[in-house]
Structure 1
């Protein structure tokens, strides 16, 4: 049976992004979605307030694999076509999904949200699937350090002004 994704607060994601995410094998969207956050078995997923846990990194990788596969089939002649989300045509949705990669990697590393990524043209003249695949290679290297035990706690301490060596200088 599929595990429900329950909605909570703080994660900014569009309904179209979540519609693609919930197509992941073994996951389904829970009732009462407010599209501002996801929870997996009651835990927040990739919020600005905390770094990602190892299981969240695995979920992020699954979402990126799925999204890369979908975007790999998009061609520039499809850019003007509509999507299930009235706010996005195919190109703007592809751009939004490609922008999500550096956005969520930054959150997983313990950084703050940078919503300006979504306003910039992330695709240019490239094929979105190829672009996302290339960007994911760099992201995988950055996320690899998050897999070790205690990495999320260390990132949270850095973000909140302290480290293993004591408080950060003012």
Structure 2
């Protein structure tokens, strides 16, 4: 398991047990448990609200907060029996998988809604959304007429009231 000890403080990464050697920088701590069967359980716990609060309670520093390796070792985690921990991990991952699938469906639906919106707008501006009156002026001609009118405005008649004038 990997834990950010600076910068993105407290973020957790789960690394597969068969993962080979890798470079870890000074911002990340590698945590290896005595019993690796608990690795995912501990990682999910530390990602939970309770676990994150417990972990971050050990942060130190005023301007640049951080955690030390001793701080990580001191976080209190209650372990159930291995078979229970594995069942909890399985249930968490199963439910998160369902959430992931739901998120994918929602993203696809949003993309379809945007495509539909664009299609409606395209048809509207092409004059294909509602039946057209063949006697209507073509949009290009109407726009040209409006442009010309704006360039050569006709003077408006103005009437001024004269004080004391009789109607």
Give TM-score, length-normalised by structure 1. Answer: 0.23
Give TM-score, length-normalised by structure 2. Answer: 0.23
- Which structure is higher in strand share? 1
Name which one, 1 or 2, has greater alpha-carbon Rg.
2
